[in-house]
Amino acid sequence: MLRTPTRNKWYELALNDRRWFADGPPHWKGADQLFEATTKQKKRIERLSHFSKTKPELAPLVRTLRGCTARTRCLSVACPVCARAFKRLATKQIRTFLKLRERANEPIWSLTIVPAEWMVSSDRLLLFDFAKAAALIKRTLLKADVKWAIGAFDFSWNVDASGRLPPRWSVHTHLMVSGDRRQIKKAMAKVFRPSAYVSRPTWTTEMQPTAFRISYPFKDFYVSKRKPIVAGEKVQDARLPVAQKLRLYTTLDLLTFSGRLIMFRVRFGTEGNLTDVSGRKRQDPQIESFMRLEHLDMAIGRGFIAF
């Protein structure tokens, strides 16, 4: 596992605050408690170490998760305890950020993008270019003249109920966006087209900035979706097959929290606070260096493990 030993990324500094690992606020319906995440972590370690006997490439992830203690956290996206802490941090800080926007009467849209091009076979998931995907989203947000946006990559294993299409991982995004809804929809429709796999690649709804809704893009549970080809039939969620779980955990571990996030004209500080940087000069050296850091994260997470 190639992981930078320096603890100077914004989320590493922000997650030094132990409250994100505790059970205090933010609270929302269905939010898991620390003991639940710890139980999940234990189970994940057991399962991964079992499979690492035949898949030695899983061993680094087992070591990372085993090294996650209350004193030193592993900060892997594949760690249920750390993923929960990051979700809590993001939810709290975005909520504070949105409360200020609410007073300014700025409407917030929930925008989900499921690009057909991001449907990949199981063995391609590890090779998925998240930096390129995030850049495409940001370019489209720019065309939509969006004020700011924040969200994250999400994953589902899609199985075609008719059996006509082979199963695919769907990498997609959930974003919170401020801007003109019509312009957003128009710009998205131009770039993200329907296909046999995805009948509706983007959708926008007005978003109530509750902790539950804000936490959704940062969710740390992933499902298998049985997608019928016949329109109008209900999509059924199921548990991920074991082989796909292993694939996903390895991908998540390489992704890092910065890599999973998509931010447009907003920035997290080292305290974890979220600020609007839309009004600032583009050449702001702080933003530039932050963007470089974001890309460095991506470079680190590329192509070192394959199975």
Name the nearest CA neighbour of 139 among 64, 57, 228, 131.
Answer: 131
Minimum Å distance from CB 191 to Zn ion?
36
For Zn ion, the closer of residues 42 and 239 by Cβ is 42
CB 159 within 8 A of CB 224: yes
CB 159 within 8 A of CB 119: no
Cα→Cα distances 109→34, 274, 278, Å? 30, 18, 17
Minimum Å distance from CB 68 to Zn ion?
3
For Zn ion, the closer of residues 77 and 111 by Cβ is 77
Between 69 and 88, how does the x/- string for binding to Zn ion read (CB under 5 A)?
----xx----x-xx------
- 201-236 burial, b at 16+ Cβ within 10 Å, e below that, comes to bbebeebebebebbbbbbebebebbbbeeeeeeeee
Minimum Å distance from CB 125 to Zn ion?
21
Minimum Å distance from CB 190 to Zn ion?
40
For Zn ion, the closer of residues 74 and 263 by Cβ is 74
Chain residues 80-139 in contact with Zn ion, contact rule CB under 5 A? 81-82
Cα→Cα distances 54→241, 249, 252, Å? 17, 16, 21
H or E stretch including 80? helix 80-103
Among 45, 48, 62, 68, binds Zn ion (CB under 5 A): 68
For Zn ion, the closer of residues 78 and 94 by Cβ is 78
Size of the site for Zn ion (CB under 5 A): 6
HSE-CB at 220 with a 13 A cutoff on CA atoms is 26
Minimum Å distance from CB 15 to Zn ion?
10
CB 264 within 8 A of CB 173: no
Instruction: Decide: is 48 part of the binding site for Zn ion (CB under 5 A).
Output: no
3-class SS of residue 187: helix
Contacts of 238 (CB under 8 A, 6+ apart): 223, 224, 225, 226
Minimum Å distance from CB 65 to Zn ion?
6
For Zn ion, the closer of residues 134 and 253 by Cβ is 253
Minimum Å distance from CB 244 to Zn ion?
21
For Zn ion, the closer of residues 38 and 122 by Cβ is 38
For Zn ion, the closer of residues 74 and 198 by Cβ is 74
The label of the residue with tokens 């080292």 reads 270
Q: What is the binding site for Zn ion (CB under 5 A)?
A: 68, 73-74, 79, 81-82
